[in-house]
Structure 1
């Protein structure tokens, strides 16, 4: 592992990955990988998660194709330096902001979207000109194996390595020196990643998640009627026997199945189940389940769920949801379903979350023009579209000045006349500065304490 990491670092130093041609070629090859590997991706997702191929295309393959094409269309503009405006006093000077790659990047992805959460940040890292080590999640072994076997056949394997393994491999990787770490996963592991990054002062992006509350404004309806409508919608989508449909993703493994089972087996929670709840451990299947007003201190209300369990908390006034949300850790996303503009304004101004979506869910994840990321305990940093490029870039300030001119009052010995000139400059009073230089404006008497 150490040798692989060092080889990738040395390859970055060669400067090849900084070239636009290399970046475009790798992005094009990644697009080819996704398209040619589509059927195998379906099979891998089916094996690990029981995911239907239509859902797989909607959530992962389709969004990745869109993201690669978006990067290819905009790459030259992203890479170009941007002229910076200088104050008028900066005579015969110019400045620009130049994006440059950070260097060697570590990407650690999660199991819930095994391809999307691995390749979406990879797109940004490649577009920015970095070399990359990618560690897929060991909890989705078929998807991890696909990436490890296929990525070297399509991408420059001197610049991009896929390293498989469990927590011990992750720990060894974190001991290495990186120029950026991009992690998607739980807040518990996120703290470990951040602690490891401290050793080398490595910048990190943490995509952590947590609770994502949905606020539903029933207006004149009542919560029990809305629950009945939810039950009807579940039956319409998945039929009377959801286990027989291929449209529901299975639980990733027995450990997570048992975790979810424990959430609704809690004696304090059992009575709050109003719909669903059946389970098939052999097939890792859990029926869509609705709970109404489980105890707020119950585990299902304090930990991330990642399963088909929907707890509903009722309030007398929908505005009370704002206080409830603010009493909990900041969310990755808040979804609010309402037509009341006053409530929308309050949600925007009085809550804090990575994103806020009205009358829909997840659409912000697919939008390249929007930053995706958390805040507080739901994470730090952002990506998607140009935000991915910026996340894996350093924006370097470059200033140029001619030898033909300089301002003599920048240097000692100091006096009140020079102080007045500085005050004119920093207050953008260029006429005053000119008058002072010409002796037409007298400096005010200034006393200083020793």
Structure 2
């Protein structure tokens, strides 16, 4: 079935029907209409899969996707235009242009933590660029995956866009096919497998992975505001966010104040929801058990867990160090270790010793300090005096580096990711300089002159 689906999409792409800009824009509008039709089903599915409430589901998934579609429709014609670029004097008589063309049949493999957003957002770029797409939503959120399949079936013929549900075996079957582009979001471990499979067909890939994203708080920060924004970014989606601050590294002179404010805002934002069963659950039993094992040490807030609903209370662990169990892997749950430093330069070196994170956050009101740290630490994307919010800016590329991934997307960068830039030199036939050819006595002098 999957091979047949792939063949249908390849044939449809080769027909050229996806190339006209009006066709692409109509496809995006049809996607939006289908999402709106299924909106209530999506909300119910997120509630069923991991108790995600409507406000958070709309903010981080549905509303985000609507905004992405609208932004792409508004700008697509401009993005897709052929670009005329400069031509050097050595090429007199010619013009140079960059043509934008789609790759072809694309594969989008999505994770479970934002199962709708992280399936559809890459699709928006793929459709805007004129590709076809096969989606593989996560089997760990089966209700959302089922609704995604309904959305795609209503919006598109399967020869254009199709959603394929299934587990690891389905992923393996898909990765054996010679796709023209693969977009994967998930763990670094699986990312290596995707890249290895893609290499067999020389298929280009974008890998959106993760890592331990630090939040550094210096003595020059607005401590109360830093605490507020850190706990919001960390405990959003029950900590199951690839760019959530994975740990806090704070100057020892302000650590006690920071922890006090973090406890206050965690209680204010999440205590009632957790006590009344509205706080989002961990996606499955395995992740629930893994995260519980990390709740060790000086727990100054939280620490409760509900086995029957797979809910873990937002938890702050003070006085942690790099040997703490929660510092050995990406937490991907509502546990926040707090480490302290005495020297910012030493803190920067410590963070640099870790694998490159997907996100990085620095809290300081001293601009020179922020500039120095941002330049000194390698990371995918991040923010100064905020967390997570950079994802909502469609003008910023989002992606990792090293262990946290490769390639980027969002806004125009999604279009660029799924677009091949084809360079074309258009040379005149009105004249032809003889000295460029080896038979000319001036050939050697010409070569030396233009390349010296």
- Is TM (by shorter chain) over 0.5? yes
Partner of 2:264: 232
1:81 alignment counterpart: 82
Cross-structure match for 1:311: 337
Report the CA distance shift for 1:322/1:295 in structure 2 as closer, same or farther (over 3 A). Answer: closer
Is contact 1:243-1:285 (8 Å) kept?
Answer: no
Match of 2:10 in 1: 9
Cα root mean square deviation, aligned: 1.6
1:363 lines up with 2:389 in the alignment: yes
- State the 1:116 CA deviation: 0.7
Can you list the C-alpha shifts for 1:60-118, whole angstroms capped at 9, x where unaligned? Answer: 11111111011101111111100021012322211210000000100000000011100
Aligned to 2:230: none
Change beyond 3 A, Cα 1:312–1:399: same
Q: CA deviation at 1:240?
A: 5.8
C-alpha separation between the residues in 1 aligned to 2:9 and 2:325? Answer: 43
Alignment correspondent of 1:252: 283
TM alignment of 1:137-286, pairs within 5 A: 137-219=138-220, 222-239=254-271, 242-244=274-276, 246=278, 248-264=279-295, 270-286=296-312
Shift of 1:414: 6.6
TM-score using structure 1 length: 0.90
User: Quick check: 2:434–2:440 contact (8 Å CA) kept in 1?
Assistant: no
| Separation in 1, partners of 2:203, 2:273 | 50
Deviations 1:207-249 (A, max 9, x none): 0011111111244953122212111111111236723152x21
What does residue 364 of structure 2 align with? 338
2:413 alignment partner, one of 387, 395, 404 = 387
| Residues 220, 365 of structure 2: 8 Å contact kept | no
Moved more, 199-208 or 216-225: 216-225
Which deviations, in whole Å up to 9, do the C-alpha atoms of 1:126-180 show, x marking residues without a partner? 0000010000000111110111122111123221010000111101110111100
- Contact conserved, 1:239 with 1:245, CA < 8 A, in 2? no
Greater Rg, structure 1 or structure 2? Answer: 1
Mapped partners of 1:160, 1:419: distance in 2? 55
- C-alpha change, 1:89 and 1:219, in structure 2 (3 Å) is closer
Please list every run of 5 or more consecutive structure 1 residues that lacks an aligned counterpart in the other structure: 265-269, 428-450
* Distance of 2:432 and 2:450 partners within structure 1: 14
Distance 1:68 1:245 in 2: 33
| Distance in 2, Cα, partners of 1:56 & 1:237 | 16
Q: Which residue is 1:424 aligned to?
A: 449
Q: Hey, what does 2:227 align to over in structure 1? A: none
Normalising by structure 2, report the TM-score: 0.90
Show structure 1 runs of 4+ deviating over 6 A: none
State the secondary structure of the residue aligned to 2:95: strand
Selected match of 2:374 from 336, 344, 348: 348
- The alpha-carbon distance between structure 1 residues 240 and 59, as it changes in their structure 2 partners (threshold 3 A), is closer
User: 1:99·1:395 contact (CA, 8 Å) conserved in 2?
Assistant: yes
- Determine the C-alpha separation between the residues in 1 that align with 2:173 and 2:196: 14
User: Who is 1:434 aligned against?
Assistant: none
Q: Give secondary structure in 1 for the equivalent of 2:91.
A: coil
**Residues 26 and 156 of structure 1 are in contact (CA less than 8 Å); yes or no, is this contact kept in structure 2?**
no
Structure 2 unaligned blocks of 5 or more: 222-252
1:90 aligns with 2:91: yes
Decide whether aligned partners of structure 1 residues 49 and 218 sit closer, same or farther in structure 2, where only a CA change above 3 A counts. Answer: farther
Q: Specify the SS of the correspondent of 2:158.
A: coil
* Cα shift at 1:293: 3.4
Alpha-carbon displacement from aligned partner over 1:179-226 (angstroms, at most 9, x marks no partner): 000000000000000010110000000000111111112449531222
2:224 aligns with none
Aligned residue pairs total: 420
